[in-house]
Structure 1
């Protein structure tokens, strides 16, 4: 089990070697001031996608998140819960953490890997269920809604890549009923960056009434945007508050300065060409073969381009800032 002490020593220092040079080369100049930092362990579960979808409990696990507050005092802050992608916590996450703090909101970076013994799943996504992070997000919300410096009504969920998949589908009411906080509270908004949208879940048109926003690049060769277009169009026909903002020519990681020089990861595993569907008892089926999906299926490929786009990065940060709960609603002290 993780303790506060053990979490604080290694929480964010284990990253994939493919990204090491980019992370360590970033300047610390211009980072937002942090008034307080806390490493907060919380309980979650490790389970397969089938177990998640079929309502089974999985294996209890303690993981951790890192809470940062932008100002001292007794003010209760809005907070953004950040979910990482298959590469784990890289500078893409920490760049967002710094920018959000500079916008005056707290951040809570969830580490879904270290407590489970993972560094990265980027080359083999079969090692951990893709829905695990949804459960982590709900448990993080439970932990944060008890914190004296956090406003429980102003907790926004934001995820990157596979973390974006979790942020997007955490909006499903079915998943909220199955796995959500006992309090019945939910996130104030669901923000997904370049998420895979190529899995059809049962009742996936029944989503939260809170805003759901997707930001994607048209040149993404890791998780192509076309499936997100189709999903968003399907939900908008039914009047749901979901929007896709697509940036022409933008690649995966368009918001990360670490990839100012584009990087090609030849071994990165991708299911972007697969079309998958949930069947009975939580089974995920390959639509093309009508058989249970496997990472050995012919639709599974390899290769990923990561490329920063300065103009798009600036625009998307403006868009995220507009989604943040208004600071003037801040509360002071406990209710």
Structure 2
């Protein structure tokens, strides 16, 4: 299949690949730029399991060891690639965990302020499973020890990629994600069969004062899925806002990527692929009265230190329970 990645995306990938520190060189971390095939889909197409346009994107793979590496697939949010992603790459690589950063944004359809862009809340799930398919046959990767982690808008992707429905539609026959970590996702939409997860553990990390993606919505979702038998947990940080793991955001900062807050909406997928606003009885739109501009983000040092401690330990425990291939 012919694959094209816009030049801006290649510049980002090449820049990232060249950022090898002396410490990385000493640790013999191997870096590869890997193009792969995926399908660009709207959320409606993703939920229905059909449609979309075949395309190509790429990602950067970093492997600390020669073989049998556990790998965390990283999805970044609508604001684009930032230093916080580098922080997680370094932290995980130092613990012997490989990383694969997926560039889902370069040359794609979701403009920052467009209705079309807003409607791509889940479409990175297709990219995540395409990445899993590729990594599962990579000679340096242990296919049984691949996890998924995402932030903000991509946190929704990481969270709902754990649905049985998504695994059946898009998962490869030879692999599944071993675990999922979602940072401050939006849990305000009730999707069909969203209580049925694939069985791999799911963790959510969320600020309780988040004014973009409400903590309460995710808390309700965790209770609902836990009652259905899902292995899902959430850590909440009182008084902490959106983007708390981003050291560059040291004061209250309003979003600049057109993000919106849907926490005031009651949205249900009552027909496959169609999201209904219960207040209007009509198809949900981002100009509905319940939608407002997203609240500010702010770094929180204490919460950041806690997730830096918890998340690598969770992955080490998860991967340690799975024998290396």
- Asked if Structure 1 and Structure 2 have the same fold, meaning a TM-score greater than 0.5 normalized by the shorter chain, the answer is yes
Aligned counterpart for 1:157 among listed residues 145, 148, 152: 148
- The aligned residue for residue 214 of structure 1 is 204
Counterpart CA distance in 2 for 1:246 and 1:35 is 33
Task: Name the counterpart of 1:261.
Answer: 251
Partner Cα distance (1:125, 1:96) in 2: 31
Q: Which residue of 1 aligns with 2:80?
A: 88
1:145 — aligned with what?
A: 136
Shift of 1:282: 1.0
Residue 3 of structure 1 and its aligned partner are, at CA, apart by 6.3
Q: Runs of 5+ in structure 2 lacking a partner? A: none
The alpha-carbon deviation at position 104 of structure 1 amounts to: 1.4
Deviation of 1:325 after TM superposition, in Å, equals: 4.0
1:296 aligned residue = 287
Find the counterpart in structure 2 of residue 305 from structure 1. Answer: 296
Q: Secondary structure at the match of 1:298?
A: coil
Write the distance in 1 (CA, Å) between the matches of 2:107 and 2:132.
18
**How far is 1:321 from its partner?**
1.4
Q: Distance in 2 between matches of 1:268 and 1:166?
A: 16
1:39 match = 33
Superposition map of 1:1-335 within 5 A = 1-2=3-4, 8-11=10-13, 35-71=29-65, 74-116=66-108, 121=112, 123-124=113-114, 126-127=116-117, 129-183=120-174, 185-265=175-255, 268-325=259-316, 331=324
Q: Deviations over 1:101-135 (max 9, x none)?
A: 122111000111114266x63x4463252221111
CA RMSD between the two structures: 2.6
* TM-score normalised according to structure 2 size: 0.88
Q: Distance in 2 between matches of 1:272 and 1:115?
A: 29
Q: SS where residue 204 of structure 2 aligns? A: strand
Q: Distance in 2 between matches of 1:31 and 1:91?
A: 18
Segments of structure 1 that go 5 or more residues without pairing to the other structure are: 15-27
SS at 1:82 equivalent: strand
Q: 2:151, 2:182 within 8 Å by CA — same for their partners in 1?
A: yes
2-structure distance, mates of 1:241, 1:323? 13
Change (3 A) 1:193 1:103: same
- Relative to structure 1, the CA distance from residue 195 to residue 4 in structure 2 (aligned partners, 3 Å threshold; closer, same or farther) is closer
1:12–1:249 CA distance, 2 compared to 1 (3 A): farther
